[in-house]
Amino acid sequence: MSLRQKAIKGIIWSVIQSWGRQAISFIVFAALARLLDPEAFGLVALASVFLAFVQVFLDQGFVNAIIQREELHPEHLDTAFWTNLGIGAVLTVLGFFLGEPVSRLFGESQLTPIIQCLSLTFLFSALINVQEAIFRRNLNFKALAVRELLAVSIGGCIGIISALSGLGVWSLVNQQLVSSLVQVFVLWLASDWRPKLSFSIKHFKDLFFFGVNVIGINFLNFFNTRSDDLLIGYFLGSVALGYYSIAYRLLQVVTQLIIGVINGLAMPIFSRLQKEPEKLHHAFYKGIHFSSLIAFPVFLGLSVLAPELIVVLFGEKWIPSIPVMQILNLVGVLYAGFYFNSPMLMAIGKPNWQLGLTFIQAICNVTAFAIAVRWGIVAVAAAYAIRSYLMAPFTIWLVQKLTQISIKTYLHQYTAPLIGSLAMSISIIGIRHFSGNILSPNIFLLVSITFGSVLYLATISQLDSEFIREMKELFYSMSSKSIKRNSQGL
C-alpha cells in the first residue's frame, strides 16, 4: 500500500476516532455540566494542573522519537516501554504523597483524594505509550479509533451514572479513571507487540537524544496551556476556574474535532517525506488549507453564537463563561495552521528550534496571564488572544526560515477560508440585529447555522473552486475503489 493510500485510510479512521470521540465526549460533557456545579469542574481542573505538570516527565519524548526514526529496532521498543513503565510507577507514587501539599497550596482540602486517585493515570499511560507509537508510525489508526470510542463511551456512562447518584466531583474522577483503564485493555488486545525483558543503554541514548528536546517542549507547553488555570485557581478560586475551564474545554473539543484529525497524521506523514522537500511542502500546504476551510468558520461561528450556545447547551448558570468562550475561539483560528508547525519541525529533525519557540511563547503567556489575572477570567482570555496574534508573524518567519516554504503560498492557504468565514459571521450578526428578541435561542441557532453554512459554502465554491474539484475527485476515487472491492467480494 502506497503512502497516499495509507494516509487516506489513516484520515478515514482518524475522522472516525476524532469525530466519534468528540461527539460522545461533548454529549457527556454537556450532561455533566447540567448535573454538576462550576466548583466540581474547577476542582478537577486544579487537580489537572498538577497532573499535567507531572505528566511532562512520563513520556521522555520516546513516542515522537519512535515515530520519527527511519530505522527502528526491537531494542528501541523494549527500552522505551520499561523506561516509561518505571517512570510511570514512580510518578504515581509521587502523586499520592504530593496530593496533600498541593491541596494546601490552593487552599482546597477536597483536592487531596482527587489528585491521589487520578495519579493512577500515569501508570495507565505508561502501559500503552509504545503501542500507540507503533500504531501511529504505521499509520494504523483503526485500533486507536476503537480505543478512543470505547474509552470515552464507557467512561462517559460511568461519569453520568455517578453524577445522577449524587457523587458530585467524583463523577468526573470516575469518568477519567475508567476511560484510562479501558484504553489499556483495548490497546493491549489490539497490539501483537509484547515487551521483552531487555534494556539497551545504546538504544536508550538513540531515543533520549531526540526525546530530550520533546521533554523540554512539553515542559514549556505546560506553562503555555496551563499557567492560566494555575493562576486563576490560585488567585480567583475553583468557581472562577470552573467557568473558565468550561469555555476552554469547548475550544479543546472543537480543536481536536476539526484539526486533530489531520494533525494526528501530520508527523508520521511529514517524517516519511523529510528527504523530499517539494512533496513535504505540498503536504504542509494541503494540511493547512484543508484544516482552515473547516476551522475558520467553526471557530468564528462559535465566537459569534456563544451567547445562545452556552445557554442552550449548558444552562443559564454558565453565562459567565460566554465572553471567555468568545475570546478563546478567536485564538482557535490561529490553531488551524499553527498546529502543523510542531510536526513539521519535528519531522525535519529540528526539535531544538521548536523548543526555543515554545520557550518564548511560555514566557510571554505566563507574563501576560500574571498581569491580567487581577482583572478576572475575561482579561486572562484576552491576554492569551493578544499574545497569540502578536507572536504570529514571528512564528511564520521562523517556520519559513527552517523549512524554506514560500510565505506567499503559505498565506494564500488562509485567503478563501477567511473571506468566507467573515461573510458568514457578518450575516449571523445581521440576523441577530434584525430579529431582536423575536426568535427563541433554539430557533435563532437553527436559522443562523443554516444560513451561515450555506453562505460560507457558496463563497468557498466561488473563491476556491480548484480545491472543491480535488475533493470531488478524491471522493469519486474512494467511492469507485469501494464499489470495486465490494463487487469482487460478491
- Residue 289 pLDDT: 84
Q: Which long-range contacts link 469-478 to residues 24+ away (Cβ below 8 Å)?
A: 474/8, 478/8
Asked if pLDDT for residue 479 goes beyond 60, the answer is: no
Asked if pLDDT for residue 484 goes beyond 60, the answer is: no
- Residue 265 pLDDT: 65
Asked if pLDDT for residue 4 goes beyond 60, the answer is: no
- DSSP characters over 25-93: HHHHHHHHHHHS-HHHHHHHHHHHHHHHHHHTTTSTTHHHHHHH-SS--HHHHHHHHHHHHHHHHHHHH
Q: How confident is the model at residue 486 (pLDDT cuts 50, 70, 90)?
A: very low
Burial class of residue 245 in the structure, from the number of CB atoms within 10 Å of its CB (0-12 exposed, 13-18 middle, 19+ buried):
buried
- Residue 249 pLDDT: 83
Instruction: State the CB neighbour count (10 A cutoff) for residue 482.
Output: 10
User: Contact 226/166 with Cβ under 8 angstroms?
Assistant: no
| 198 vs 487, more confident | 198
Q: How far apart are CA 34 and CA 277, in angstroms?
A: 50
Asked if pLDDT for residue 478 goes beyond 50, the answer is: no
Q: Which long-range contacts link 386-394 to residues 24+ away (Cβ below 8 Å)?
A: 387/361, 388/331, 388/334, 389/334, 391/360, 391/361, 391/364, 392/334, 392/338, 394/360
- Residue 302 pLDDT: 92
| 8 vs 296, more confident | 296
- Residue 482 pLDDT: 43
pLDDT in tens, 258-277: 666 665 667 667 777 777 77
Closest to 155 (Cα-Cα) out of 133, 136, 177: 177
* Average pLDDT of the chain, as a whole number: 83
Asked if pLDDT for residue 51 goes beyond 50, the answer is: yes
- Residue 162 pLDDT: 95
Q: How far apart are CA 372 and CA 367, in angstroms?
A: 9
Q: How confident is the model at residue 369 (pLDDT cuts 50, 70, 90)?
A: very high
- Residue 485 pLDDT: 45
User: Contact 306/250 with Cβ under 8 angstroms?
Assistant: no
Q: How far apart are CA 96 and CA 56, in angstroms?
A: 17
Mean pLDDT of all residues in 209-215: 69
Mean pLDDT of all residues in 179-197: 89
- Residue 429 pLDDT: 92
- Residue 473 pLDDT: 58
pLDDT in tens, 447-473: 999 999 999 989 988 887 766 666 565
Q: How far apart are CA 186 and CA 179, in angstroms?
A: 11
User: Contact 179/136 with Cβ under 8 angstroms?
Assistant: no
169 three-state secondary structure: coil
Q: How confident is the model at residue 59 (pLDDT cuts 50, 70, 90)?
A: low
Asked if pLDDT for residue 488 goes beyond 80, the answer is: no
For 284-297, give one letter per residue: b (16+ CB within 10 A) or e: bbebbbbbbbbbbb
Q: How far apart are CA 210 and CA 327, in angstroms?
A: 36
**Residue 131 grid coordinates:** 503501542
pLDDT in tens, 439-450: 888 899 999 999
pLDDT in tens, 149-166: 889 899 999 999 999 999
- The 3-state secondary structure of 427-484 reads HHHHHHHHHCCCCCHHHHHHHHHHHHHHHHHHHHHHHCHHHHHHHHHHHHHHHHHHHH
**Percentage of the chain exceeding pLDDT 70:** 86
- Residue 472 pLDDT: 60
Mean pLDDT of all residues in 3-29: 69
Asked if pLDDT for residue 138 goes beyond 70, the answer is: yes
- Residue 58 pLDDT: 74
Mean pLDDT of all residues in 337-352: 75
User: Contact 215/61 with Cβ under 8 angstroms?
Assistant: yes
Among the residue ranges 209-223, 306-320, 379-393, the one predicted with the least confidence is: 209-223
Q: What is the radius of gyration, based on Cα positions, of the chain?
A: 23
